[in-house]
Amino acid sequence: MYKTFAEVKTALASGSTVLEIVEGYLNAIQQHSDLNAFLEVFESSAKDKAIEVDAKRKAGNAGRLAGMVIGLKDNLCYAGHKVSASSKILEGFESLYTATVVQRLLDEDAVIIGRLNCDEFAMGSSNENSAFGPVKNNLNKNLVPGGSSGGSAVAVSAGLCTATLGSDTGGSIRQPASFTGTYGLKPSYGRISRYGLIAYASSFDQIGPFTNSLEDSALLLEVMAGEDDFDSTVSSKPVLDYASFETIQSKKIAVIQESLNTEGIDPEVVAKMEDTIAKLKAEGHTVEFVSFPYLEYMVPTYYVLTTAEASSNLSRFDGVHFGHRSASAVGVEQTYKKSRSEGFGPEVQRRIMAGTFVLSHGYYDAYYTKGQKVRRVLKNRTEEILSQYDLILLPTTPSTAFELNAVKDPIQMYLQDIFTVHANLTGHPAISLPLGKHSNGLPFGIQVMGKNFGEKELFNFSSYLEKLA
């Protein structure tokens, strides 16, 4: 099936209809059901939307995304459709409203084809924590696709839809993009509305796209970005023409020295970084190593703060206010305990308990307050670097995709996020570009981080970099 929107538009120009394109994707989804990427296919509503868009095309008033078929991570609301955050506690829940980003896609005549499997409540780095089974990497079914947006990454990589939406709290878009050879964008915090996103950690979460082309990522950001009356954290900064790439001038680029010396990083990832640096220097760009002596503190800080926010955000799912209610519970206290024990999986329970401890009396200052102070130090140092350099270059992941069930230790799994949590802690935009190819045949990403709300420059440089590579 069509991998990019450019291919879709070529097919439409040659006489294909949006309905035919949707039917093609539906067949592809059925053929690749063993990947477990889709939890539900919205066949009826997708076909209805396709017929509507075909009529608009005939009338000459179709939107910018006419013919683009998009899948949603299972934590984004779409009115009249189920959403569960891949958790038993929300199994069967049907959304009463539509997320702002989803509505903006629909308004431009995109077709929403289904909801995609993910780690439960977006908590995971492998997509093995879903209540509905793991997603398999389409490039090798014995490997993880990355998490938490594994279903979104696989659906794009396998050509089951044109693009997908994911959420990125600590790398949940960029890490799966690296493992599947796709483009994964985490915008600046506040660039895109979070209204209609089931929250994990509200000061970290950002919605972003998976695509098979940089152009599609830029176009989707352009459509989704901008102010929203339903989300007060969205910036009023103007939305730029992201999808029109400009020729770049000589750039000054920082490379975090400690990232290439990290224990456990694959030598071929380091080699690709060094090759990229050499090519940039040969083209006349200034590329310098900078010290960021806080790398070892980023993952612990991230998990202290995000688990605290998760403990608060997920407290509403208690069998009384929202979510699964235990059939065997008697009384309010039992209802709380049994409903949450039955509804939440082990990883979600682990993070809720950790976050509750962090926020508890006697430990709040020692952990949460200290974590916020460290976050400020990280942000200040990043801003200092970006005041002297245009962009930051670093790996997306320390390795290529690993085997299913290979990582048993939660701490070792958390360390998969070592290069991605940075942009979430500081709020900066970052993108994973599928520029690496390992000798084992698997892809891996190179990550570019930009200045706050500097997505235009980020895209311009990324376009240049992919041609250079």
CA atoms within 13 A on the CB side of 400: 21
Which string of DSSP letters, residue by residue, matches 178-204? HHHT-EEEEPPTTSB--TTBPPS-TTT
Which string of DSSP letters, residue by residue, matches 358-396? HHSTTTHIIIIIHHHHHHHHHHHHHHHHHHH-SEEEEES
* Helix or strand holding residue 51 (H, E): helix 43-59
Do the Cβ atoms of 233 and 194 come closer than 8 Å? yes
Burial class (CB in 10 A: 0-12, 13-18, 19+), 111: buried
CA 373 to CA 376: how far, in whole Å? 5
Burial class (CB in 10 A: 0-12, 13-18, 19+), 337: middle
CA 396 to CA 153: how far, in whole Å? 15
- Identify the CA nearest to 107 among candidates 152, 66, 140: 66
Q: Which residues are catalytic?
A: 73, 148, 172
Question: Residues 6 or more apart from 344 whose CB is under 8 A from it?
Answer: 87, 88, 89, 120, 314, 317, 352
Q: How far from chain centre, in Å, is Cα 91? A: 22
CA atoms within 13 A on the CB side of 255: 20
- Identify the CA nearest to 141 among candidates 1, 2, 36: 36
CA quadruple 328, 334, 338, 339: dihedral sign: positive
Do the Cβ atoms of 409 and 195 come closer than 8 Å? no
- In degrees and rounded to multiples of 5, residue 433 shows phi and psi of -105, 135
Q: DSSP code of 78?
A: -
